[in-house]
Amino acid sequence: MQTLLKHPYFKMVLMAIGGWLLLYILPYESAGGAETKSLAQISLDRMINGGPNGDWQHCLAIPFIILFLLWRYKERYQNLTFTTSWWGAGFLLFSLFLYWLGAQINLYYLGYVAMHGIAMSLLLWLGGWRTFWQLSFFSILGFFFWPWYFIGREIGLPLRLLVTEIAEPTLNFLGLDTIKQGTGLLSAPTANLAMGERFSIDIAAACSGLRSLMSLLLMSLIVGYTSNRSPWSRILLFLSAFPLAVLGNVIRILLLVYGSIWFGSEFAIGKSEHDPSAFHIGSGLVIFVFVFFGLMTFSKMLKKYLEKNPVSERSTQKTVPHSKTQKAALITWLLPCSAIILTLVIKQLTPPLEVGSQITVRMDLPANVGSYRSEKVAPNPAELIGLPEDTQFAKRTYFPSWGNSFYDRINMGIVLSGQDRRSLHPPNECLIAQGWKITKEETRVIQLSLEQDLPIRILSLSKLIPKSQGSDELSTLNAYYIYWWTGNDKVSANYNQMVKDHFSTMITQRVYSRWAYPHLLGFQHPYEQGEDTVNRLTRFLQLCAHEFQLAAEPF
């Protein structure tokens, strides 16, 4: 029995069982406790179904790629040594804490980081630093196993904006007068054609280049591992994926623009964002193949000029006998098992999340506000992408009784989060993607009653529009976007404050608070000063906010 306990394969079996429990069997908090799923179920759902910022099916191939590379290049790892490193114990405890914390605050990204950290900590603990560094490539490769949705939000929009910034002057240089509006490229107005009538390309989230970037980053790692041995050449090859992805996406946009001009928008782009044409899909595949060959060519150049005197793989291997620590005391594997079991016990004993029933907003905007009448507006399909099904909307457009001018309209809405925090995010990226330029941000406090103050966030916006219908001249449209956050008996104009309170309430009270996001958009008259417009909109809020904003204490 003692021989079995000391056998290294027995340790591997124990680690596999522990990973199976943590990943697949044990529930991990999701959707505010309404339906708990394991980390594997959460991940597989996102891998298979994709998301608003791209597809993540490539994650499913990562385990098979790692196993194949380990088998194909097994001679590189024939002389691994196994020594105990107590640094691994500290990293393991920290990773287990992240696993527990992620479950408490309903943040599965922490679960991904924790599972990755647990695997690497055990490798360091039971294999030592030398083995850890020798297998570090597979740690980097394992990063691509997890569907990091937030990367699409943090990197996707900057990528889309960068592509449009490059494509606009390129199209103008090629003789196609183009106007950039956010992530859209529109043909400039002429005497015969309105703006965007010749071609109109919007770089959607799924077409941001993130998909090709992630694929190219993965391929650059694999190509560097299999073809390039110099650390510098591998680093440069990895970094080259960024400009190659952007270049490929710019070329794809040019193909779509010329396809729209020559064959029509429906042929080149498709009927809608969710129904792309064969030309649209095919152009992406062709460009990816083109960029991949560029990656391979760069790899060969690096191999030629940075690895002039490559050392044979066998000569660099030092024959080091397996360390005697494989027969070390049971503590080398008993302690990590005990730490994992203790974490699971603590997690199971922690009370589950409960969805808070108290909502500090009424999801019913008033039909009339002073001399303004209104019409209900349905949520735009683009607003629903990636949001949980239980997210609630209330939207109205208000018109003054003295006219129906575009500048007099006020668009107001409320978004009530579902049992998942993805429902709420700052409006900046959506406004920028719609073509608005944010020129100024400020926070003010307005008085709704003698007993209630309301902090609001005001964004000053501007965009270029045709001066009149059929005109080839452009003018600047100015607007103001006002919003705030309300929930958990509090109200705030600060997104970070809202998130901090949301997480702290989950940890300390085990309550998932549903937050709401009231907002309005108003336009500035050509003859009106900006401050006059803001005062007009805030007076409108003072007339109606008390009808849907329930009593709440400002932060």
Sign of the CA dihedral with 279 first, then 285, 289, and 291 last: positive
Percent of the chain residues past pLDDT 90, beyond the cut: 10
DSSP class per residue in 131-185: HHHHTHHHHHHHGGGS--HHHHHHTHHHHHHHHHHHHHHHHHHTT--EEEETTEE
Is the pLDDT score of 31 beyond 80?
no
- Dihedral over alpha carbons 232, 233, 234, 238 (to 10 degrees): 100
- Residues in CB range of 397: below 8 A, 6 or more apart: 374, 375, 377, 409, 410, 411, 412
Which comes out higher in pLDDT, residue 408 or 10? 408
φ, ψ of residue 264 to 5 degrees: the values are 100, 155
pLDDT (0 to 100) of residue 231: 82
455, 554 contact by CB (below 8 A): yes
Which comes out higher in pLDDT, residue 471 or 439? 439
At residue 470 the predicted structure's pLDDT band, cuts being 50, 70 and 90, is low
- Residues in CB range of 135: below 8 A, 6 or more apart: 77, 80, 123, 127
pLDDT (0 to 100) of residue 541: 92
Which comes out higher in pLDDT, residue 3 or 398? 398
CA–CA distance, 320 with 422 (Å, rounded to integer): 51
At residue 398 the predicted structure's pLDDT band, cuts being 50, 70 and 90, is very high
Strand partners, 456: 444
CA–CA distance, 415 with 361 (Å, rounded to integer): 10
Burial of 509 (0-12, 13-18, 19+ CB in 10 A): middle
CA–CA distance, 338 with 1 (Å, rounded to integer): 19
Strand partners, 374: 398
CA–CA distance, 269 with 289 (Å, rounded to integer): 20
184-187, strands of its sheet edge to edge: 178-181, 184-187, 200-202
φ, ψ of residue 352 to 5 degrees: the values are -70, 160
pLDDT (0 to 100) of residue 414: 92
At residue 309 the predicted structure's pLDDT band, cuts being 50, 70 and 90, is low
φ, ψ of residue 241 to 5 degrees: the values are -65, -30
The pLDDT tens digits for 145-177 are 888 777 766 677 777 778 888 888 988 888 888
Percent of the chain residues past pLDDT 70, beyond the cut: 79
Is the pLDDT score of 458 beyond 90?
yes
At residue 381 the predicted structure's pLDDT band, cuts being 50, 70 and 90, is low
- pTM exceeds 0.85: no
CA–CA distance, 456 with 491 (Å, rounded to integer): 9
The Cβ of residue 106 has, within 10 Å, a number of other Cβ atoms equal to: 21
pLDDT (0 to 100) of residue 55: 63
At residue 421 the predicted structure's pLDDT band, cuts being 50, 70 and 90, is low
Which comes out higher in pLDDT, residue 472 or 140? 140
460, 522 contact by CB (below 8 A): no
Is the pLDDT score of 44 beyond 70?
yes
User: Tokens 């620590």 — which residue?
Assistant: 325
Which comes out higher in pLDDT, residue 233 or 195? 233
Which comes out higher in pLDDT, residue 249 or 274? 249
360, 489 contact by CB (below 8 A): yes
Average pLDDT over residues 304-309: 70
506, 353 contact by CB (below 8 A): yes
The Cβ of residue 4 has, within 10 Å, a number of other Cβ atoms equal to: 8
Strand partners, 519: 413, 483
Whole-angstrom Cα Rg for the chain = 28
HEC readout, 385-424:
CCCCCCCEEEEEEEEECCCCCHHHCEEEEEEECCCCHHHC
Sign of the CA dihedral with 352 first, then 353, 358, and 363 last: negative
CA angle 289, 293, 294 (to 5 degrees): 115
Mean pLDDT, the chain, integer: 78
Is the pLDDT score of 313 beyond 50?
no
CA–CA distance, 328 with 128 (Å, rounded to integer): 13
Residue 411's nearest CA partner among 480, 342, 468 is 480
CA–CA distance, 184 with 202 (Å, rounded to integer): 4
Looking at residue 408, its amino acid is: D
Q: Would you give the DSSP letter of residue 86? A: T
Helix H or strand E segment including 466: strand 452-466
The pLDDT tens digits for 253-297 are 888 888 888 888 778 777 666 567 787 778 777 777 888 888 888
- Residues in CB range of 551: below 8 A, 6 or more apart: 360, 451, 452
User: Tokens 């009448």 — which residue?
Assistant: 373
CA–CA distance, 494 with 170 (Å, rounded to integer): 39
- Sequence-ordered alpha helix ranges (H) in 307-414: 313-316, 331-349, 381-384
